[in-house]
């Protein structure tokens, strides 16, 4: 009986320690991205900060860029309920990115992750998969529904509207290298509805 109990305790500790180590590595990755950026990113520094081995890092992620994307996406909260209001429904899908950019050095972490996604194949695949699943596809559905209800016009490309919604956010983070002001994404949703309104 005591042997079984000890085995169960051991089996519970393993995954728990692994998750703690993974969280520590992602936190260290965010700190390194905020301080050094992607182009001068140091895996050695991450390993030291997280008290983890580089072998563990390379075992858990297909590339350092993919680890950077994971670290940044961990800052992005779930989308809030947009309700029925068209502006709130559109904004709800991009507000989480604003929230991540406004969390501590989130804008610097997101900038580093975007640069990693541009440079590294695995990072790019991870970023695009998340973007398609959590932003682009839900946004396409919302815009298509609003067009079907004639809230907005139907004579436009859905993907272009999405790019217009997200482009200013990426420009502010990557080019201006500036934090994102509160309400930025709600403002972009308001502009989009004004431009594509049927009125």
pLDDT tens readout for residues 5-33: 444 444 445 566 789 999 999 999 999 99
The SS3 call for residue 152 is strand
As a whole number, mean pLDDT of residues 28-57 equals: 96
More confident: 120 or 80: 120
Residue 173 has pLDDT above 80, yes or no: yes
Tell me whether residue 88 is exposed, middle or buried, using C-beta atoms within 10 angstroms of its C-beta: 0 to 12, 13 to 18, 19 or more. Answer: middle
Query: What gap in Å lies between CA 193 and CA 199, rounded to an integer?
Result: 10
Which residues pair with residue 152 across a beta bridge?
197
pTM, two decimals, is 0.85
**Hunting for tokens 């301080």 — which residue is that?**
35
């Amino acid at each position: 009986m005591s042997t079984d109990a000890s085995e169960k305790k051991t089996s519970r500790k393993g995954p728990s320690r692994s998750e703690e180590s993974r969280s520590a590595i992602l936190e260290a990755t965010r700190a390194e991205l905020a301080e050094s950026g992607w182009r001068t990113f140091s895996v050695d520094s991450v390993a030291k900060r997280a008290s983890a081995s580089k072998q563990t890092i390379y075992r858990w992620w297909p590339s350092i860029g993919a680890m950077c994307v994971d670290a940044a996406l961990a800052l992005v909260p779930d989308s809030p309920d947009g309700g029925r209001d068209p502006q709130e429904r559109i904004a709800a899908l991009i507000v989480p990115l604003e929230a991540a950019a406004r969390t501590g050095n989130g804008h610097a972490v997101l900038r580093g992750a975007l640069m990693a996604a541009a440079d590294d194949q695995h990072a790019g695949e991870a970023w695009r998969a998340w973007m398609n699943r959590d932003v682009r596809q839900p946004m396409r559905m919302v815009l298509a529904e609003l067009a079907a209800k004639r809230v907005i016009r139907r004579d436009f490309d859905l993907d272009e509207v999405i790019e217009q919604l997200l482009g200013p956010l990426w420009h502010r983070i990557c080019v201006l290298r500036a934090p994102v002001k509160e309400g930025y994404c709600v403002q972009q949703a308001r502009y989009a509805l004004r431009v594509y309104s049927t009125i």
